[in-house]
A and B are shown apart, each in its own frame.
Chain A
């Protein structure tokens, strides 16, 4: 835990220099999409509104965890910096999580702002928004594992950047567009995208009728996805070090 805190502190210090553009881009991007979709989707459907707001909120996390982390780990691999972490008594998963957590620290305001503004704009209840406390770290861990794996496995840092951006576009497309409106094939893809269950869990928080069972089910899947994604990232980390 001491090692994780130290890594987190170091990464926060490193990311602090970029916090303003990071906050700005992550927040404005999601708010912009939220407001844009206000004029496009059927706002009389509660389910659609819930998914749009939840998807936009998780997008803030995806921007950081997928896009920026893929870039960061691609750059670390290319510069040979992974040896430094590999020869410290900390696990690869701790390195991935600490880096993701450091970036995520600067996106919490953006995610909360997106959820609150979205709920107000789409007329959704805010009573269960506390669920963000669970959804954001779980979605962040799952997507961070995926983003770090992309960065660590990509043979070149440029490719890591492209893969991260493609991943974020996937989350954007599949996360925000209501499942019922997706073609059959994409509905199947949606079922295996790590962020789907975080979006679904958060969407449940905007319902007027709270369903504990469904929330627990979706959060359970989020936990499983996060554990699996971090395990994959750990393996990718070891593989990248030896490459």
Chain B
């Protein structure tokens, strides 16, 4: 995956190589999207492109502006400045025009909650232009793919949170739109269901469907995304493949320490991100090795409940770029 690379200055600690343009034909182009809510800048000159058949992610903590950005992309919100182009057509603030090209899964879909699963999916398919028979067949296939066949006649409001989310996703996937915009589709799902969703997305990517996936789950971002834009306080602070972004901090390792009781007065404390009894440090490899040797050789070892050394994740990239630690979900 080799996109057009440019070096951009970031507002925080450094400069990173950033691929704002996709490696293939452009399916989605956001240009300078800026939105103010009172004095707060919710999205700040957001610019990137998504290629056809790409699984592109928006990663960022709660309140980073992901959902606002997505609602602008699907046309329900008009930005103060900037434009949204889908498959070559300007759809800025025009959800009706955007709906011809995309399917959108919001964070919650209360409009569907009182409908049986099968009817919810089928009626969305028919709204997207499928005949009753085709929508019925597509519903059957989708429910089978997502493991929901036995729940077909049960109303969404009577399902567990995870089952409901899968049913909502099924409604988004019906009728094969060329662009899928999914706002945290795996929120509340168990591991098995999450993998089923990831498989469904990969299948569609292989068919040439473009996917924009909003997540604050680092594991999901690393497993599924071709490229990812990291959002913080309404700004894109990095945009590239997960691999290239992680290479930014590849010389470092993450050292996690969990203390049995009140943490001691240790020199590492001043460099750690402290969350109760848990300390998290990102250190050069040699320094981490020395620190761990020091911690495990003396009396300090008895105070430790657990320790781990790990290679960097996108969360480390996020923190290195100035994001706040513990904002992202690791599971």
Contact = CB atoms under 8 A, between A and B. Distances in A.
B140 interface: no
Q: DSSP class of A's interface residues: helix, strand, loop or mixed?
A: helix
A88 B124 contact: yes
Which of B75, B110, B127 lies at the interface centre, i.e. has the most chain A CB atoms within 10 A of its CB?
B127
A88 B71 contact: no
Contact of A14 (B96, B104, B115, B125): B115
Contact of A10 (B109, B115, B128): B115
B127 A83 contact: no
A189 B71 CA distance: 41
A220 interface: no
A80 B110 contact: yes
B275 to A, nearest CB: 32
Given A10-B120, A14-B114, A87 B126 contact: no
A84 interface: yes
B71 A83 contact: yes
B102 A87 contact: yes
A20 interface: no
Q: What is the size category of the interface that chain A forms with chain B?
A: 20 to 34
B99 A87 contact: yes
A197 to B, nearest CB: 31
Nearest to B120: A10
A89 B123 contact: no
A79 interface: yes
Interface string A178-213: 000000000000000000000000000000000000
B100 interface: yes
B141 interface: no
Interface string A83-98: 1111111110000000
Contacts, number: 86
Interface stretch (A1-9, A27-35, A62-70, A121-129): A1-9
A87 B76 contact: yes
Interface in B127-145: 127-132, 135
A76 B113 CA distance: 11
A96 to B, nearest CB: 14
B191 to A, nearest CB: 28
A5 B126 contact: yes
A2 B123 CA distance: 9
Interface of A: 2-3, 5-7, 9-10, 13-14, 17, 76, 79-91, 241-242
Interface of B: 71, 74-78, 93, 95-96, 98-100, 102-104, 106, 108-112, 114-116, 119-120, 122-132, 135
Given A86-B95, A87-B76, A88-B127, 20 more contacts: A3-B126, A6-B127, A7-B123, A7-B127, A14-B114, A14-B115, A79-B108, A80-B106, A81-B111, A83-B104, A84-B111, A85-B111, A86-B76, A87-B103, A87-B104, A89-B96, A89-B100, A89-B129, A90-B127, A241-B95
